[in-house]
Amino acid sequence: MPGPRFTSSFTQQEPISEDGVAAALAVMRSGRLHRYNTVPGEMAEAAALERDYAEWQGARYCLAVASGGQAMQIALRASGVGPGSVVLSNAFTLAPVPGAIAGVGARAALVEITPDLVIDLDDLQDKAQACGATHLLLSHMRGHLCDMDRLMEIAAARNLTVIEDCAHTMGATWSGRRSGNFGLAGCFSTQTYKHMNAGEGGLLTSNDADFMARATILSGSYMLHDRHGAGPGPDAYAAVRLETPNLSARMDNLRAALLRPQIARLDGNVRRWNRLHDHLAARLAAHPAIRLPRRPSQEGYVGSSIQFLIPGISDRNAAGFVSRAAADGVELKWFGAPEPAGFTSTHHSWRYMPAQALPRTDALLAVLFDMRLPLTFDIDDCEVIAEVLLAAADRSDLAGAA
């Protein structure tokens, strides 16, 4: 008798809402897609997005840019990172994070992770002392928050400037405080597979006026920085406007128009994602060979994806497990694969940076599986996915995995 088969798409997102479509059409009909192309008395959609997102995030300032990767590069440059700088970051992340460090001419010093997939704070403390870095680009990879209280204590003691990569934690909290509000800056992505969808795009938030003035000029504001919806006052630009290069990384009004209505739906979408995640997590956790990362009580997470480990599984059997799941319609990513695939890669394939020994991280990535949970899924879909994965696990040789 054939087993369960999943037939929905892991890359299909919800449609843009009708109010977003209407706002985008209005921009197209105006012909004024560039963020600074306004008529007297008009606030551009990009500026309105900055205003609205800053209010939702609880940040003083917000800058809309072309991508999450550009938000990180601009944040690093605006905070003083340049050629020859050393920037700490967690070893488990996606390529745009070390890419942003390399993009500003700096060198990444990677930090081990824990079995719960967050940065190892003991290793961070040791490496911060050993390498002399002044910055940490902290990746909240796949939506997992470390102990942010202890991390900020370490940062203060080591004089580390913290920039948060919140591409997977828009809407997440630690002890009620939104991710992105702990360090100097928070960097967010609005690429299709993130928590707001404009195809591409990014947002940068901060409470530091001098930092945001530099970031705004870097983004390509020319001398039009007064047309931003959540930017610092003119005094912050007095010197930096003539000393800071223009990188032309602006967001356009069309993407901003698509995004603005999505802000009001974010909190509700977090609840929807978590219902899907928690149902699937409970089903997978019942299998004796599968282990899910622990979620501390202080963490308010966003379950837009799910990760699990099968400790002890061999590379051959991990590949077989992924293949069996795929044959029944479930798309898993495995971080232990010898070659990068799609968006999944590890530090071994980032050859634009020095090779680094990270044995604890490597051991975890070898048994780590990852899966998207788009909001086009429902609980019934998650039940079928669980049945497929559990059946694939039972058909796979998980010897030693327990």
Helix (H, G, I), strand (E, B) or coil at 184: coil
367 located within any domain: yes
Tell me how many degrees the CA angle 227-233-234 measures, rounded to the nearest 5: 85
The residue type found at 129 is Q
Q: How far apart are the first and last CA of the chain?
A: 28
Contacts of residue 393, defined as CB under 8 A and 6 or more positions apart, other chains included, come to 287, 289, 290, 310, 321
User: How many distinct structural domains can be found in the chain?
Assistant: 2
User: Do 245 and 163 fall into the same domain?
Assistant: yes
Output the pLDDT for position 1.
57
11 located within any domain: no
Domain boundary among 203, 237, 263: 263
User: Do 259 and 232 fall into the same domain?
Assistant: yes
Domain that holds residue 49: 18-263
In the sheet with 161-165, reading across from the earlier edge strand, the strands are 61-65, 202-206, 185-189, 161-165, 135-139, 86-90, 107-111
Domain boundary among 219, 234, 263: 263
Output the pLDDT for position 342.
87
Output the pLDDT for position 394.
87
Output the pLDDT for position 401.
47
400 located within any domain: no
* CATH number of the domain encompassing residue 153: 3.40.640.10
Strand partners, 65: 202, 250
User: Do 278 and 219 fall into the same domain?
Assistant: no
Output the pLDDT for position 402.
44
User: Do 102 and 123 fall into the same domain?
Assistant: yes
10-residue mean pLDDT series, the chain (402 residues): 87 97 98 96 97 98 98 98 97 97 97 98 96 96 98 98 98 98 98 98 98 98 96 96 96 98 98 98 97 98 98 95 97 94 92 95 98 98 98 75 46
What is d(CA 189, CA 187) in angstroms, rounded to the nearest whole number?
Answer: 7
User: Do 340 and 297 fall into the same domain?
Assistant: yes
Q: Indicate the pTM of the whole model.
A: 0.97
